[in-house]
Structure 1
């Protein structure tokens, strides 16, 4: 019985650690924005993130309209900059530095 508990606990810890590494990242979103979208948008990350509140960014993400909104604000953004694998990171960046967050990015 003791071995089963130890194995289960170890499995839970490993699962918890792997989910953290797979989640999106604010700093990665900032780096991606600087590399892939800043020139196309013509504004720094602070201005882009401040286009909406945290609730509005969350709503856009949940409704699947994040790409549409980015294209609306940044019509020159290429499709390669808006790949699905980047969206979680963009969202985390925009949400963290939204106009009602009180945070200011360093880009």
Structure 2
């Protein structure tokens, strides 16, 4: 019985670490690709609620990419949003934005 509880505890610990890793990856992606134009992560992530960020990031971030691709002010980011790198990293970026959204109560430390 003791082994069973140890296995369950280890599984839960591993699962929670994996979830945090995706958020951390999203934070790193934000710092590398978005911070130059949008500033610190707290301001941008907290500008929308979790539900809105999740909708914007549906289909590998298609809506967020279209917002940038339709803006002449964002022309420097067009190569990134047209790349496979963006679609590959969109899930991590979504995890970061949803984790630190206005209604989440969390504050990122990437400023």
Seen in structure 2, the aligned counterparts of structure 1 residues 16 and 99 have a Cα distance that, compared at 3 Å, is closer
Between structures 1 and 2, the one with greater helix share: 2
Aligned to 1:43: 38
Number of aligned residue pairs: 98
RMSD: 2.9
Query: Are residue 71 (structure 1) and residue 68 (structure 2) matched?
Result: no
TM normalised by structure 2 equals 0.62
TM normalised by structure 1 equals 0.63
Write out aligned runs for 1:1-107 (5 A).
Answer: 5-24=1-20, 25-39=22-36, 42-44=37-39, 45-50=41-46, 52-61=48-57, 64-75=58-69, 76=78, 77-78=80-81, 79-84=83-88, 86-101=89-104, 105=108, 106-107=110-111
Unpaired runs of at least 5, structure 1: none
Seen in structure 2, the aligned counterparts of structure 1 residues 33 and 80 have a Cα distance that, compared at 3 Å, is farther
Q: Does the CA-based 8 Å contact 2:56-2:64 persist in structure 1?
A: no
Counterparts of 1:89 and 1:104, CA distance in 2: 17
